[in-house]
Amino acid sequence: MNNKGFDKVRLLLVAVLILGALLNIVWMKNLPNPGEIVAEDTPDDAVVLVGTAQGRNGPVEVEVTATADRIYGIRVLDHQESDGIGTEAARLLPGKIYESQSLLVDSIAGATISSDAIKEAIANALSSGGFDPNVFMVEVAAAEPVEKTPVELDCDVVVVGAGGAGLTASVLATQQGMDVILLEKMPFVGGNSLRAEGGMNAAGTKLEAELGLDDSTVENFTEDTLRLGHYLADPDLVRTLAEKSSDAIEWLKTVNAQFTGVKATGGCEGRKYLHQPEGGVAVGEYLVDKLKTQTEKLGIDVRVNTKATEILMDNGQAVGVIAEDAEHVYTIHAKSVVITTGGFGANFELMASYDPSLANAVTTNHSGATGDGIMLARAVGADTVDMEQIQLHPTVIQSDGTLVSESFRSLGAIVVNTEGKRFVNDLAGRDVVSQAELKQPDGYCFIIFDQNLVDHLALSQKFIDRGFTIQGNTYEELAKNMGLTGDAVQNFVNTMNTWNESVANGIDEEFGRNNGMDDDLSVAPFYAIKIAPGIHHTMGGIKINTNAEVIDTDGNVIPGLFAAGETTGGIHGGNRVGGNAVCDFVVFGRIAGQSATDFAAAEALPNAA
């Protein structure tokens, strides 16, 4: 072809691209915005109304177009709900309510508080226009059973569970050239990882070196993790966690995730490992957003609302999974399988089988944390370890299970009881602080911080916005607003003055705390949040080796089957160190993704067995 021919081809390609772009713009304009549904047949007498209600993180504002007996439009105007959880409720719920003309539709799984806020805001909007919201409080008929269509799919690697570990494994395997299918039973990706707030532990990183943290070594990180886990963890897994943590921090840069600070974490004897994103934003939402964006860029086949029900085996080797969504039963043939379905901190029946006292406890876990992957792996012969090791977190808001991040104490917050006194090293291991709290009068305590901490920890503002904080311009005023009376008020004032002196002197003579003492609590206004222990992490799960290969009950590797994240056991022992869950899902998510890739690549060879 001559140059003129090439030029014609170029012009034709450019024209096609421009036409495609224009068509895409037109198509996008015709799509409803997330959180918006508007009927084409809206009558002239329909009224546009606005209502608000309190969501998980702040007010939710909606606009409703309606008559007295029909809703014609719903728009979620504004909210501060968590990305990936509340945002899914805002995106999906308006359509469900419009289609059913009912405010009694099921909430979006895993986003109940946000869903309830949207429903309440719609009801408030209707009421503001003189309409009776009870007209729309009608029972929604159960959907007719659907005969699900069987579908066969093929891929190199199938990953079950789209939390932090699943997203990490999927991204890494795809970066290595694998064709990946990622399954998630919930309507959104992220799982419990979305609820991680503090940071990611790592040792021997470039950032630690820049900050002169010479004792944040692999050796110390390994020993601290083993010691705080009461030496119940597998030392090889812990060593791998520590040794690979710095590489994990560097790999996260490939998905545009950066850490800018390193803080203390509970029980680590003054050493700092907790890497935090800039501004102290919640690490879970931050990393899930970066990883989710990467799955989109890489074109990974992510299927939400799709639950794996069985691991397919062939001669003792994992070769795929069976999964279902609302309309299909998928037989997914894969060369390797990765289980990353998280723990079982929302499965009260299972937890109570190990510890009956947990049957009615508050949990920080999302509703999908029911241990499904553990059961799937057990069904094909996988062994489990440490299933009875269930962690309580000491700073949990009991009304809804909201976690008050360890970052507060890392930046100087303290815990006091209803007598106005400290009673424990506030940054000891989570199990130590939790058990100490359970022995205090009245069954609850307070975490105390100041405006300086608020100014340096972005996630603290959401607790203020949601009305969880008690405030005072002086220690005495705060104590009284906390409900303290009599001697407890002066006790509290004395406690705060003593703590500030301890920070100035660098010595906590009362309880030996030596972490999170860079700043005192002297900048008004002062804040308190009422807290008590709640279920936070299940340390037990599927048994794996350092290659993230699943081990069967005879101690042998199950070929083609890998696992990572909270669905596994053996890494945290009897108590998880704050910040290690994020390290775990990145480190072992990467290992699982690489091991699954290597296995799949070997299976693809012509002479593979």
- Give the catalytic positions in this structure: 430
As a 3-state breakdown, the chain gives helix, strand, coil percent values, each rounded to 5, of 40, 25, 40
3 state SS of 474: coil
Structure tokens at 69: 């007996």
State the DSSP string of 551-584: EBTTS-EEEEEEE-GGGEESSSTTSPPTTHHHHH
State the DSSP string of 330-373: EEEEEEEEEE-----TT-HHHHHHH-GGGTT--B-S-TT-S-HH
**DSSP H helical segments within 422-512, as ranges?**
430-438, 451-456, 460-465, 475-481, 487-505
Distances (CA, A) of 480 to 21, 129, 148, 484, 493: 63, 41, 61, 5, 11
CB 339 within 8 A of CB 183: no
Which residues, other chains included, contact 374 with Cβ-Cβ below 8 Å and sequence gap of 6+?
341, 344, 384, 541, 542, 567
Strands of the sheet with 200-201, listed across from one edge: 200-201, 272-276, 261-264
CB atoms near residue 119 (< 10 Å): 24
Angle (nearest 5°) at CA 534 between 528 and 536: 115
CB atoms near residue 470 (< 10 Å): 18
3 state SS of 530: strand
Radius of gyration of the chain (CA): 26
| Cα–Cα distance, 76 to 64 (Å, whole number) | 9
Which residues, other chains included, contact 130 with Cβ-Cβ below 8 Å and sequence gap of 6+?
none
Which residues, other chains included, contact 504 with Cβ-Cβ below 8 Å and sequence gap of 6+?
520
Residue written as token pair 């279902």: 324
CB atoms near residue 10 (< 10 Å): 10
